[in-house]
A and B are shown apart, each in its own frame.
Chain A
Amino acid sequence: MSHSVLDRFEQTIVPLLDDAYTLARHLLRDEHDAQDVVQEAYLRAWRYFGGFHGGDERAWLLTIVRNCSYTWRRKGPAEHVPYDDEAHSADAPARNGADARAIDDSERQRLTSALDRLPAEFREALVLREIEGLSYHDIARVTGVPVGTVMSRLARARERMRRLLKRTA
């Protein structure tokens, strides 16, 4: 029986690792913190997995990752970790020589640094919606706020991104 629980975990939760890591990276803005937090979140997910009966696994896992990230941040030395160009470029896609690709990369960096300047509640809403593709209902579950709040946070977050991008363009 225990074996089938592990199999189920391997088949449903482990494949979501990139999603989990992406959320943690954007919330914590630090590669090593994100790795530690995701590992902790996975162990917590594993411990609670026996009590998880269906529903959306991704929303469930991302809820745990988000909570672990904020717990970690609260324990951490600094509330605002400065954006680390070096750490980000470490996993940025490898450049090839093509001009189009170079433009892509600078656009990507501009967006990433604009995102990093948003308050956490806006940043998480954007990451969950634009990268993870969650519905408002699932974002509300993950972040623990009503759907109406998700709606207004997303609207404001997009508006701020638009202004930030206009300013840096």
Chain B
Amino acid sequence: MPAFCQTARDSLSAYVDGELPPDRAAEIADHLTTCPACSAEYQALLETVAALRSQLTRFTAPDVLRARIRAAVAATPSESVAAEQIRPSARNDRRRLTRALGVAAAVFVGAALGAGGTLVAAGGGRNAAPVASEVLASHVRSLIPDHLTDVRSSDQHNVKPWFNGRLDYSPTVLRFDDQGYPLIGGRVDYVGGRPVAVVVYGRRQHMINVFSWPTGSGDAPVATRTVNGYNMISWRHGGSERWVVSDLNAAELRSFAALLQRADSVSS
């Protein structure tokens, strides 16, 4: 191969991208009009690039990831942004991030506890406030990476048996995929000093945590409240207490809670 062809071949890729200096690009363009071998090489390269651009997969981030990121960012105090400017040498340590999130969650829980007075007023029940705070804290913790689900499955026949042996009661695990609330998974969390079942559903980019545990108290009607942008709906029916928590808008969360309630009254 002539020497010029050899160097031209090395430049073709950058020529395709328009990344050559103008004088070099002009040389290559000239050469391509007169050299059939390099011209064929150029055509083949164009075809490869066209195939790559049209066929390589552009992925779409799952809605749940979007929700996790939004929630985690919102839960991280903005002071950390300012602090980072003062300490730009902060090391890239993953655990630090998690810790920062933990702190953020704790701050958040503190804020929720501080709002206890309004919770009592809104919730009606005498013990509503501490439970609401704990449920909310659990919801916020669940947004920390890897804390959302212990069992991750969209199949209730995987999620429901998973709770056996971890709890002394069996939570309701249902599918509402057709209604647009896909089942994401489940985990065991602690509320009021006891392990409780949390079943996680999704709605577009939002996550919905459904807490349930057995209760000796009688039935209680639906109570709704909003704390720091999170909507919470709770009720007691047939010996179980349920809390539904999400950053989903109140109207849609109420529709979802209604689905659960309907399922509850059918099963009891």
The reply on B52 being an interface residue by CB < 8 A is yes
Instruction: Name the residue on B nearest A126 (C-beta).
Output: B52
Question: Quick check: A46 and B55 within 8 Å, CB to CB?
Answer: no
Check B81–A47 contact: CB distance below 8 A. yes
Q: Is the CB of B84 within 8 A of A22?
A: no
Taking CB as reference atom, which chain A residue is nearest B88? Answer: A51
**Contact: A38 with B61, CB < 8 Å?**
yes
* Docked complex Cα distance between A5 and B79 (Å): 11
Selected interface stretch from A76-84, A94-102, A105-113: A105-113
Question: How many residues belonging to B are interface residues under a CB distance threshold of 8 Å?
Answer: 46
Stretch at the interface among B11-19, B127-135, B245-253: B11-19
| Residues of chain A lying within 8 A (CB to CB) of residue B94 | 40, 71
**For residues 86 through 140 of chain A, which have their beta carbon under 8 Å from a beta carbon of chain B?**
88, 91-92, 104, 107-108, 111-112, 115, 126-127, 129-131, 135-136
The secondary-structure label for the interface of chain B is helix
The answer to whether A145 has its CB under 8 Å from any CB of chain B is: no
- Cross-chain contact A130 with B52 (CB below 8 angstroms): yes
The A interface, classified by DSSP as helix, strand, loop or mixed, is helix
A5 and B76 contact, Cβ closer than 8 Å, known pairs A51-B84, A131-B56, A154-B17: no
B10: nearest chain-A partner, CB-CB: A155
Report the Cα distance A107→B76, complex, angstroms. Answer: 43
Residues of B in contact with A (beta carbons under 8 Å apart): 10, 12-14, 17, 19, 44-45, 48-49, 51-53, 55-62, 65-66, 68-70, 72-74, 76, 78-82, 84-85, 88, 90, 92, 94, 97, 100-101, 145-146
Q: Which residues of A contact B (CB under 8 A)?
A: 2-3, 5-6, 9, 14, 17-18, 20-22, 25-26, 34-36, 38-40, 42-44, 46-51, 67, 71, 88, 91-92, 104, 107-108, 111-112, 115, 126-127, 129-131, 135-136, 151-152, 154-155, 158, 161-162, 165
